[in-house]
């Protein structure tokens, strides 16, 4: 499938804050712009919604600053979730006719492939590793199944009942959770599965893992209750974290060094992006002119991407914070 491409993103500002450079950017004529992930080359992906439109489109901004906006024909929303070191993008879109999610893979040349899982009515692609292996979840006969798609296009189910896969690392280890009771799992390349809950948790939701097998995500002690972040080592040891004064902490990504980004908030409306470094130091990110923010991606150089609610523009714009 050939996506429709057009437009460039507009750089709004580049300022230095707390020894870091923060760049704000948005799509033209956008109601909001959100960056969701970045890779080690400095490419950034995300999505935006145009003013007076219900359609969300994807974008990829390469390391040189050149940006491509892409639409998927006959879709209502496009949500990129991850980008590989080679620039391959995975995510999902909503079919305009059925309002059902379909997974997609977009290669560096801009060619888009819908990820088909036999028998599935819904498919979501959540992660891709450097080899081009994709993981996600498919709804088959009313039940979720995690899957891995090979670079050649072969799809294999994980064989874990009710699994919803969220991420895959360079060694083809997959993490995710069970849709029935939110028990977390790690499945290695030999198909050995380990189930776990964070200490004291009633539900545990892992969202990312790195090349070392470290998993991050969040957990709650009861449904709908306050959440804390966790870091689980490959050996199964846990570190729990969250900034003081915030009831909810939800990590989103982890890099190879073990640095974690995400967001924390305290009701009714105080949301802040955070960075937690390998040594356990957690910092709320200082984004100028912001009334709220979330960090969604971090690469191995320490560049963080996400969104901020810009007070001057009174809308969400994307940011890239570079060390």
Q: What is the pLDDT of residues 81-98, one digit of tens each?
A: 999 999 999 999 999 999
Q: How far apart are CA 316 and CA 319, in angstroms?
A: 10
Mean pLDDT of the region 216-237: 94
pLDDT exceeds cutoff 80 at 297: yes
The pLDDT, as a whole number, for residue 18 is 53
Starting at the edge strand found earlier in the chain, the sheet holding 155-161 runs 120-128, 134-140, 143-149, 155-161
Q: Which pTM was predicted?
A: 0.93
Q: What is the pLDDT of residues 122-165, one digit of tens each?
A: 999 999 999 999 999 999 999 999 999 999 999 999 999 999 99
Domain 4-322 CATH class label = mainly beta
The pLDDT, as a whole number, for residue 64 is 87
Mean pLDDT of the region 240-269: 93
The pLDDT, as a whole number, for residue 278 is 95
Q: Predicted confidence band at 229 (pLDDT cuts at 50, 70, 90)? A: very high
Mean pLDDT of the region 30-59: 94
Mean pLDDT of the region 230-258: 97
The pLDDT, as a whole number, for residue 222 is 86
Q: Predicted confidence band at 7 (pLDDT cuts at 50, 70, 90)? A: very low
Q: Which residues of 37-73 are buried (b: 16+ CB within 10 A; e: fewer)?
A: bbbebbbbbbbbbbeeeeebbbbbbeeeeebbbbbbe
Mean pLDDT of the region 189-200: 97
Q: Specify the residue for token string 């798609």.
A: 149
Provide the residue count of the chain.
323
pLDDT exceeds cutoff 80 at 33: yes
> Which of 265, 275, 266 is CA-nearest to residue 306?
275
The pLDDT, as a whole number, for residue 12 is 55
Q: Predicted confidence band at 20 (pLDDT cuts at 50, 70, 90)? A: confident
The pair of three-digit structure tokens given for residue 294, joined into one six-digit string? 């979330």
β-bridge mates for residue 215, sequence order: 209, 232
| Terminal CA-CA length for the chain | 38
β-bridge mates for residue 220, sequence order: 203, 227
DSSP labels, 204-245: EEEEEE-TT--EEEEEESSTT--EEEEEE-TTS-EEEE--TT
Q: How far apart are CA 179 and CA 196, in angstroms?
A: 14
Mean pLDDT of the region 175-204: 97
The pLDDT, as a whole number, for residue 233 is 98
pLDDT exceeds cutoff 70 at 276: yes
The pLDDT, as a whole number, for residue 3 is 47
Four-residue CA torsion sign, 123, 124, 127, 132: positive
Q: How far apart are CA 225 and CA 250, in angstroms?
A: 13
Out of 45-49, 70-74, 111-115, 216-220, least confident range: 70-74
Please state, rounded to an integer, the average pLDDT across all residues of the chain: 92
């Amino acid at each position: 499938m050939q996506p429709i491409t057009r437009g460039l993103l507009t750089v709004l500002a580049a300022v230095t804050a707390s020894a870091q450079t923060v760049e704000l950017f948005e799509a033209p004529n956008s109601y909001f712009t959100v960056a969701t992930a970045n890779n080690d080359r400095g490419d950034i992906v995300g999505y935006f919604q145009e003013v007076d439109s219900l359609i969300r489109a994807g974008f990829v901004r390469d390391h040189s600053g050149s940006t491509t906006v892409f639409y998927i024909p006959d879709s209502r929303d496009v949500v990129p979730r991850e980008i590989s070191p080679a620039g391959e993008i995975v995510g999902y879109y909503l079919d305009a006719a059925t309002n059902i999610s379909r997974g997609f893979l977009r290669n560096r040349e801009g060619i888009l492939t819908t990820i088909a899982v036999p028998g599935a009515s819904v498919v979501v692609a959540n992660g891709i590793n450097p080899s081009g292996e994709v993981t996600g979840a498919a709804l088959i006969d009313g039940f979720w199944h995690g899957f891995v798609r090979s670079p050649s296009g072969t799809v294999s189910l994980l064989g874990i009942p009710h699994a919803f896969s969220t991420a895959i690392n360079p060694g083809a280890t997959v993490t995710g959770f069970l849709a029935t009771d939110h028990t977390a799992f790690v499945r290695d390349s030999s198909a050995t599965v380990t189930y776990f809950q964070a200490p004291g948790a009633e539900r545990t939701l892992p969202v990312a893992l790195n090349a070392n097998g470290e998993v991050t995500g969040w957990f709650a002690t009861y449904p709908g209750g306050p959440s804390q972040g966790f870091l689980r080592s490959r050996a199964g040891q846990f570190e729990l974290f969250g900034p003081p004064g915030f009831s909810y902490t939800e990590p989103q990504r982890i890099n190879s060094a073990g640095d974690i980004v995400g967001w924390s908030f305290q009701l009714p409306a105080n949301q802040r992006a955070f960075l937690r470094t390998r040594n356990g130091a957690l910092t709320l990110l200082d984004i100028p002119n912001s009334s709220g923010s979330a960090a969604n991606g971090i690469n191995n150089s320490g560049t963080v991407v996400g969104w901020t609610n810009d007070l001057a523009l009174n809308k969400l714009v994307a940011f890239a914070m570079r060390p």
